[in-house]
Amino acid sequence: MALTALFSTLFARISAYRAYRQTYKALSALDDRELYDLGIFRGRIDEIARGAASR
């Protein structure tokens, strides 16, 4: 039982990290004008990516 919980937690963390990286990379690839059109400032990319990973 404990081993199953360990793998479940590990899988959830890996999935969250992948979601973070995917969002971070996608937003970082946008130029400042595109980010502005979305209402995002470059300094908030990390915060937004972390929020996407926690869902």
Kindly state the average pLDDT of the residues 9-34.
Answer: 97
Judging by beta carbons within 10 Å of its beta carbon (0-12, 13-18, 19+), is residue 49 exposed, middle or buried? buried
Across 1-5, 8-12, 17-21, 38-42, least confident range? 1-5
Strand boundaries in the chain, DSSP class E? none
Would you list the domain boundaries of the chain? Answer: 13-53
Residue 1's CB is within 10 A of a number of other CB atoms, namely: 5
Range 38-53 average pLDDT: 96
Q: What is the pLDDT of residue 55?
A: 82
Confidence band for 1, pLDDT divided at 50, 70 and 90 = low
Q: Confirm whether pTM is higher than 0.95.
A: no
Q: What average pLDDT does the segment 18-26 reach?
A: 98
